[in-house]
Amino acid sequence: MQEEDKHETFYTAETKINTIKCTPSGELVFFGDANGNLYTKRKSSSNYSFFQCNPEHDIDIPLSIQSINKLEIERSSESRAAILLSMDKSIEIWKLFQQPNASNQSKIVGKQDKILAGVHECTINSLSMCQNQKHFISSDDLNVFLWDLNRADSVFHIIDHKETVKPITEVITCAKYHPHNTHEIMWTSTNGSIRLGDLRSRVIMDKPTHVLKYESSKSWYYEELVVSISSAEFCKAHESIVARDYFTVKYWDLRNSSSPYLIADIIEDQNLSMSDLYQTQAICAEFEIKDCLNSEYSITGGYGEVFIIHRTTGEIYKQSFDTNQEILHLDTTEQGDITFAISECLYNVQLSPNLFN
């Protein structure tokens, strides 16, 4: 199923948007760009606020500007929020709140609360908040750390990839907390593995409790790039995991995990040259996947397209836009609002629960 559509730009940032996060209700949307700007907007307002999250930098040295790569919401209400954001190898916590201005209208203002640095060896590739709102995990290519928000100096090195995978033939691509179980985490890798861990049994995850890995009948010359998982999520309403690699979206049933119970082909490979994809680095695109609408659907991006996959039937609804640029970053709300970025532009569409009827 496909629909051609054009949408007005929701917002245009200063430069390329790298990460988007919506509150579950959709009342607030946050996004960060490559110049270190954090933007936020209330659903009920047309006004945006933005904050420069970089420390003072030399305008003659562009490399001193750090990009915001990942966002996570620590907690939020209609009037205030606490946001985690990663910039290269450090994490910042920002407190945002409403403040009346001279025209008697409320404006969102923010201040930096904490900087967590000196731990990650590589650029941070994921942040994930625990359901208890007391802990979160962060990951890079080689490590996963567990943080206590009440004690900034309390951090546990729960996964050291250099010790658990020898020789290192793969790296970590993301790590996520379970949305309900405060003890359960997963981390994914470039070889297509999804590893599960239980923090009740051990804090140092030298061995996962379970490993999910799809063994394809196809043989690829650039196999590691093809199977590398760019994004994965626990499904909130089912004992499932949904994961995105370059070509497909795969659903795993955690009760019967010998193979995916659903594989949805997203990017067709018939007319693609793997050599060209490699030479242009297109195959390294880190497309995100999101679980939405009570886990009945998942959403992900492509080249000028947003794909909506029905979990039970595997049917795919494709909404196309007047561009062939990558749609890497997106998020959704409990009501089915989808916010996504094309380069520096932000867009919003509404997902109908009756889309496939």
pLDDT of residue 78 exceeding 80, the answer is no
Report which secondary-structure segment, H or E, holds 339: strand 337-342
pLDDT of residue 96 exceeding 60, the answer is yes
Distance set, CA 25 to CA 29, 58, 182, 185 (Å): 10, 39, 22, 24
pLDDT of residue 53 exceeding 70, the answer is yes
Average pLDDT over residues 219-235: 83
In sequence order, the 6+-apart residues with CB closer than 8 A to the CB of 324 are 303, 304
- Residue 254 bridge partners (DSSP): none
Domain ranges of the chain: 15-115
Q: What is the mean pLDDT of the chain?
A: 87
The predicted pLDDT at position 57 comes to 46
The predicted pLDDT at position 102 comes to 65
Percent of the chain with pLDDT over 90: 58
More confident residue, 280 or 326: 326
Average pLDDT over residues 97-105: 72
